[in-house]
Amino acid sequence: MTNNRFLRLPIPQQFLIIVAICGILFVSLECLSWLGLYTLWRASGKTVLPIEFVSEIQLFSSKNLFVTQTEYRPYYMYGLRPNTEISRLTPFGTDRHGLLINNQDQAGRDLSIPSDAHRIFVFGNSTILSTGSERSLAAYLETALNAEGGEKFEVVTAGADGFNSGQELARLALETLHFHPDMIITFDGVADAFWSSFADNPAPNAHINAQILKQTLEENSLQNKSFVEVNKSSVDFFLRRFYSYHVLLAVLSKKSAWT
């Protein structure tokens, strides 16, 4: 006769206790994960998280992971959450594709729909972003062009903070060329000079060569996704409802980067 009170219980009661303990541990882990992400979100005042695109940081809430729930974008170069409203804490608003808008009236913009406007894409880094959507280079240029009257112009910010020309080339080829821009403007050079100073090849723009571009793509490719993400998409879609799963994916991705 064992002295262990748990083992003396009937098997159904043992099973219920184990299930209850597992449930308490899971809820505790989920609450701690949510608290960490919520604190980060409120402290930074940003809606951009490297783990996922979060609609609202609410405990056990559903999450808007991609532009559509069925869309999977292994080469997403930047990760701005789609449909972000311009506010005091988040001066950079986005459309449904996660690209910056020039004012809140463009919140419902869908670049996949052909437009009568002359569509210009501006690539660059923080120089073109300025301090907010309404103060970006694209916003000023669009206002100036349309003030002339006649032909309508649509200027889209396609750059990102810290982008170098290699990243811009990748984003052009993989994420924006299918929007059929009528004109492309690049306005950069600072990031190229900065990052070239860390490169083995000190020549200007050395990072734009095929080897570095290939590395940029591989870092965002499926081969760096978890087994569940790639091979068990339905399971992954279910697990992404839980903040603890996103934290685990983030930790594993950081660990693989360190090794």
DSSP states of 21-61 as a string?
A: HHHHHHHHHHHHHHHHHHHHHHHHT-S--SS---S---TT-
What's at 160, amino acid-wise? A
pTM of this structure = 0.57
Dihedral of CA atoms 235, 241, 247, 252 in degrees, nearest 10, equals 10
Residue 112 CA to residue 96 CA, distance in Å, equals: 10
> 136: which residues sit within 8 A by CB, 6+ positions away?
100, 102, 128, 129, 130, 157
Strand partners, 126: none
Confidence of residue 2 (pLDDT cuts 50, 70, 90): low
Nearest to 63 by CA among 226, 230, 249, 218: 249
Residue 244 CA to residue 236 CA, distance in Å, equals: 13
Each residue's pLDDT tens digit, 195-238: 666 556 655 555 555 566 666 566 655 556 666 666 666 677 67
Each residue's pLDDT tens digit, 103-117: 999 988 888 888 899
Q: Identify the pLDDT of residue 67.
A: 37
E-assigned strand segments in the chain: 118-124, 153-157, 183-187
Each residue's pLDDT tens digit, 78-95: 556 677 888 887 888 888
